[in-house]
Amino acid sequence: MIIKKLITAFATVATLFCLVSCEKKEENSGSSLSEAAAASSEIKGDYYLDLTELGMKLTVYLRINEDNSFIFSNTTAFEVTKSAGTIEKGGSEYLMIFNSVNGEAKSASDGLQSKFVRSDNGVLDFTPSERVYYGAVGITPTSDEHPGAKLIACPVTADYKPREVKSVFRAGTYTAEAEGRTAYISFFDDESYLLTSYGNGMFFSETGKYGVSGMQMALTPQAGDRVSCEILSRDKMKLNVPVAGGERQDIDFTYTIDPGAPVSLLSEDGSASMKLYSDGSAEVSANGFTEKGVMALDSATGSFRFYPDHPETGKRGIGQVSNVPAGSLSVGDAGRITLSELRARTSEELGRTKMTFVQKQGEK
């Protein structure tokens, strides 16, 4: 009987201990939730970050939601997500943990984090960070060239008007070294582009349309989805492209005026010739008449397409003629190029004659 009473007493004490412990946990949990809610309400909203003083002609936008998630975008409508993640608070600092950058999923092991503090006036100061991850660009919060500048996010007010950023983009040819090959991309005045590269005996080309807004560029391949890119300066840009025909990646391109030395090809009967440049430019001469344009070579499909300049205006681009000559591409063991059944013009008339062109012996 005594033993039963002791067991009952111990059970009662244990139950009371559990109840008290649970109540404390609930109190602590409620405290944590209230702190998180206070933190989110304190910083929730839309912000703009003007990078002009840091040497970049660019304004980016930040949205912080009630659940402490965030999005960086290039417009106040937040139609495009440049990067995203979640925010945690530790003391007076906020920690941004990125789970997506430029459309690529990221994890905590990638270590992509940024910090900021909130000023009394509601401005977010990013100087505690080493870098803020925005699309293809890593933004540093300070600048050696501009000592007084720092990266801050100002609240977007009802009367805020986005500052117009004048683009420094210029059409022409840009080049890059990637994956052991030299790549060229040419932007034409008709808002079309040609990307071309060569390496290990393989050619790759991509054609499409491009658009420019301030320091932002969009590429829309003829066989693919629209991708966002960055114009870094008058001579440099970061483009999301498949240099070797594989997955797209961010690559730095630099403006160039050198298309490289041409490769010479002759028709099988020797009556016509062709000059083919590294940037895709091409000149086909037959019967005393020369037609210029750009050539897209693709080893994966064993084909080529020749995009002539406009026959009247001479304007260059992918869409200047509706009937685009095409044919077969082959590369021999010695690396010699053969373009079969190219329909070449032989006069001012628009008629064309099929010819096969073979790279000259000894040409590289």
- What tens digit of pLDDT does each residue of 38-54 get? 556 789 999 999 988 88
C-alpha distance from residue 138 to each of 135, 165, 230 (Å) = 8, 19, 11
- Supply the mean pLDDT for the chain: 85
Kindly indicate the confidence band of residue 28, based on its pLDDT and cuts at 50, 70 and 90. Answer: very low
Kindly indicate the confidence band of residue 7, based on its pLDDT and cuts at 50, 70 and 90. Answer: very low
With 80 as the cut, is the pLDDT of residue 30 above it? no
pLDDT of residue 321: 87
CA distance 200 to 76: 45
CA distance 145 to 153: 21
Domains by residue range for the chain, with CATH: 43-155 (2.40.128), 172-256 (2.40.128.360), 263-359 (2.40.128)
- To the nearest 10°, report the CA torsion of 129, 134, 137, 138: 10
Q: pLDDT > 70: what percent of the chain? A: 87
Are 360 and 273 spatial neighbours (Cβ–Cβ below 8 Å)?
no
pTM above 0.85, yes or no: no
Segment 134-159 mean pLDDT: 87
Q: What is the CA radius of gyration of the chain?
A: 30
pLDDT of residue 325: 93
pLDDT of residue 13: 37
- What tens digit of pLDDT does each residue of 160-199 get? 988 776 788 999 999 998 878 889 999 999 999 999 988 8
- What tens digit of pLDDT does each residue of 228-246 get? 888 888 999 999 898 777 7
Kindly indicate the confidence band of residue 362, based on its pLDDT and cuts at 50, 70 and 90. Answer: low
Other Cβ atoms closer than 10 A to 77 = 8
